[in-house]
Amino acid sequence: MTIVQRLRSLLPGQRQRPKPVRLVTDSTADIPAELAAELGITVVPLQVIFGSESFRDGVDLSSEEFFRKLAEAEELPTTSQPSIGEFQEVYQRLAEETDHVLSIHLSSGFSGTVGAAEQAAATLAEECQIEVIDSGTVSMAMGFSVIAAARAAAGGADVDTCERIARSVLGRQRLAVALDTLEYLRRGGRIGRATAFIGGLLRLKPILTIRDGEAFPLSRVRTRKKALDELLRVCLESGDVEEATVMHTTDIEDAVYLTEEIRRRYPNIPIHAGRIGPVIGVHAGPGLIGLAVILAERPASEPSS
């Protein structure tokens, strides 16, 4: 309990209903803006930099605008994490509304965003309890955990329960993406162990996941159709699926195909459509198609895969 919280508890007649936990994430979660607003999720944007121009991911630059600019750019854009000051500003504002913040961010293997959030949280430790989680992943594989925790918070769950739920979802997520090329990942320095694919790709399409916080190679296929079927195999054959999101950068037809295939196999689960944002687009490039799912919780006696 912080000093402010202890002082409040000592005031006579001040036993009040606990304030709801607030959720914070960053723009690489790819959570649709309307859903983030509905659940009260605060999204801290990373930045995309084209030459001398800087854009806040998803605020000043939409996915459509980004990929149009990318096609016309002579040099590959770069990205930048939020500053400590930006996180401090967000946490300070939320500290006026709540005593507990859960802040979930993209893998530290890709960005220093988690580190900036942790440093900002430390400066406000006396005002608000701020728990920062390194999701170890990105996009809706991370976004699912933020959404689940936000829904729990909206139902009155305390911060420990929200954190437990978020970590449970992170442990049950499965993510796979098909890229047209590894060139964007290579040039952006985010390729991780997928370097094993370079030099032997030719016309092969790489299938990647996130493992130990970095890009990890799964397989290589020769056609787009085989790439899509490989995404389905990787994500749907690990256990019973309770929720799914199909993500894309530029090819909506591929997203439609995946959605229809998932619905055919799991007709009763929620299936969401997700759009990859500009920051991830810098490192993935056009033509990415991805699938993120949440597996159903196993009974305590049953080992996980």
Q: What is the mean pLDDT of residues 279-288?
A: 90
Question: Structural domain boundaries of the chain?
Answer: 18-171, 172-295
Q: What is the mean pLDDT of residues 232-257?
A: 93
Q: Which residue has the higher pLDDT, 184 or 92?
A: 92
Predicted confidence at residue 300, as pLDDT, reads 58
- Shortest CA distance to 284 belongs to which of 259, 246, 248, 254? 248
- Consecutive H or E run containing 250: none
With cut-offs at 50, 70 and 90, classify the pLDDT of residue 133. Answer: very high
Q: What is the CATH number of domain 172-295?
A: 3.30.1180.10
- Shortest CA distance to 132 belongs to which of 123, 141, 48, 140? 123
pLDDT tens digits for 154-181? 999 999 999 999 999 999 999 999 988 7
**Which pTM was predicted?**
0.87
**11 CB-near residues (< 8 Å, 6+ apart):** none
Domains 18-171 and 172-295 share a fold: no
- Shortest CA distance to 146 belongs to which of 292, 302, 304? 292
Distance of CA 136 to the CA centre of its chain: 9
DSSP track, 57-117: BTTTB-HHHHHHHHHH-SS--EEEPPPHHHHHHHHHHHHTT-SEEEEEE--TTT-SHHHHH
Predicted confidence at residue 85, as pLDDT, reads 98
Question: With 60 as the cut, is the pLDDT of residue 4 above it?
Answer: no
DSSP three-state, residue 269 = coil
* Cα gap 242→237, rounded to integer Å: 13
- Consecutive H or E run containing 200: none
* Cα gap 305→296, rounded to integer Å: 12
Domain 18-171 fold:
Rossmann fold (3.40.50)
For the beta carbon of residue 280, count every other beta carbon within 10 angstroms.
28
Predicted confidence at residue 220, as pLDDT, reads 86
User: What is the bridge-based pairing of β-strands 53-56 and 78-80?
Assistant: unpaired
* Cα gap 114→107, rounded to integer Å: 8
pLDDT tens digits for 23-35? 999 999 999 999 9
- Computed over every residue of the chain, the mean pLDDT equals 88
Predicted confidence at residue 198, as pLDDT, reads 46
